[in-house]
Amino acid sequence: MINRKFVPHRRVLSIALPMLLVGISTPLLGMVDTAVVGHLAEPFYLGAIAIGAMIFNFLFWGMGFLRMGTTGLTARAVGERDPAETTLILFRGLLLALLLGLTLILFGSVISQIVFFFIETSGDVLFHAQRYFEIRIWAAPATLGSYVLLGWFLGQGKPRFNLVLVVAVNLLNIILDIVFVIWLDMSSAGVAWATLIAEYLGLFIGLYIVRHSFKVSIRNLQPSILFNLPALKRYLTVNVNVFLRTIFLLLGFAVFTLQGAKYGEVMLAANVILMNLQTLMAYMLDSLAHAAEVLVGKYYHGNKRQKLRELLIVSGQWSFIVAIIFAALYAIAGEYVIAMLTSISDVKEMALKFLPWLILSPLVSVWSYWFDGVFIGANLMKQMRNTMLISLLIFLASWQLLLPFENHGLWAALMIFMLARGITMGLVAYQQIRKPG
């Protein structure tokens, strides 16, 4: 018999642990991309991948509402025991993902011209970044479709399928990275081709799971219901605030990347190395945010105040524990991890100069990631958007004031950005989440 005091911990960890495995695989893939390219002869390959990844972060992460919205709507339909609506949510999401993906491909050349016009860096970095973009843009329908599938699986309380899908995609991507970049010497284009192929194979794996594990088929759906435009519009409208919040977040990281590019190829490459480690930490903390997202939604809207308080305390404790572990790991093993990711001596030396910022980052950033899950669970999307905008403005002002300190000032501004997110969301949470119902 389990002691009652451990029940909240079990509830949090039962969701967080599978999602932790899902989350860690994605940044590990980014680190493999970095390691493969980081051992090539020139640092501009790393810079090119950083610029290309930044652009797709905008294009794809900005549409993360496809995952979040699908999770929420699916969980509600499952709770209402409405399997027909659950199926419709999936296919409406996939339809929207297909339309958005094809739109990105159609306007890919226009997007490329606009984005690269504003990027100030060396010609070699720009050339390889453009090659990366021109290839990877064709993965848009598959990437967005996978967002919908991941949200649908999670909304049904089946995170193990998320794990299968994400790990399969990332393993395929790693294998193809090695084949294209190391064996076939395709450099940045090889990384793009590896991602493109892996994303489509992943989509097919996800659809196979839907067909054979959930016994879902499109043949039983009526086109008039599936292609219901008002329903599709509602699906999109519900998530506008999440979309805007994500865009504000990505703007902050884009400013960080582009400003780092102005300090030269070596500095840009060093920042890429450190941001890979920052992303690894972020995904680990996001696994606990997912647990908060699911359980806060259950207890907050169910007006179960005692269980909500227990959940907030327990998930917050676990988030801080993970943050402390990452800070310690980066302090102890950061130098060795950097050496694993690149063999270019100038890049290694530069990254080590800024490693202290990465050690500080988990302790500063933890609350911003945790509150994301809390706010999504409590359906405080508008407030999440507003706090992100305020934090972005604080970041931009801090960056301007710290410009004389160059890259150290840039990292300091990023820490202020994360701290501002945690503080502003904490103030809102104190007013709204502590008094549910």
Helix (H) or strand (E) holding 255, with range, is helix 240-261
pLDDT band at 1 (very low <50, low <70, confident <90, very high): very low
**Residue 426 structure tokens:** 């904490």
**What are the extents of the domains in the chain?**
7-432
Highest mean pLDDT among 41-55, 91-105, 124-138: 91-105
Angle at 258 between CA 257 and CA 261, to 5 degrees: 90
pLDDT at 320: 92
Query: Does pLDDT of 437 surpass 60?
Result: no
Span 155-171, mean pLDDT? Answer: 83
From 421, 400, 372, select the one nearest 242 (Cα to Cα): 372
Helix (H) or strand (E) holding 183, with range, is none
> To which residue do tokens 């409406």 refer?
92
110-124, 245-259, 344-358: which has the minimum mean pLDDT?
Answer: 110-124
Residues in the chain: 437
**Number of other residues whose CB lies within 10 A of the CB of residue 132:** 26
Span 219-232, mean pLDDT? Answer: 66
The helix-helix angle for 7-38 and 187-213 (nearest 10°) equals 150
For 53, list phi and psi in degrees, rounded to 5.
-65, -40
What is the spatial distance between Cα 148 and Cα 98, in angstroms, rounded to a whole number? 10
Query: Does pLDDT of 301 surpass 90?
Result: no
Query: Does pLDDT of 49 surpass 90?
Result: no
pLDDT at 417: 97
**Number of other residues whose CB lies within 10 A of the CB of residue 6:** 11
Q: Return the amino acid letter for 15.
A: I
The pTM of this model reads: 0.74
What is the spatial distance between Cα 153 and Cα 306, in angstroms, rounded to a whole number? 28
Dihedral of CA 71/77/79/83: which sign?
Answer: negative
pLDDT tens column, 387-403: 999 999 999 999 999 99
**Mean confidence (pLDDT) of the chain:** 82
What is the spatial distance between Cα 315 and Cα 16, in angstroms, rounded to a whole number? 9
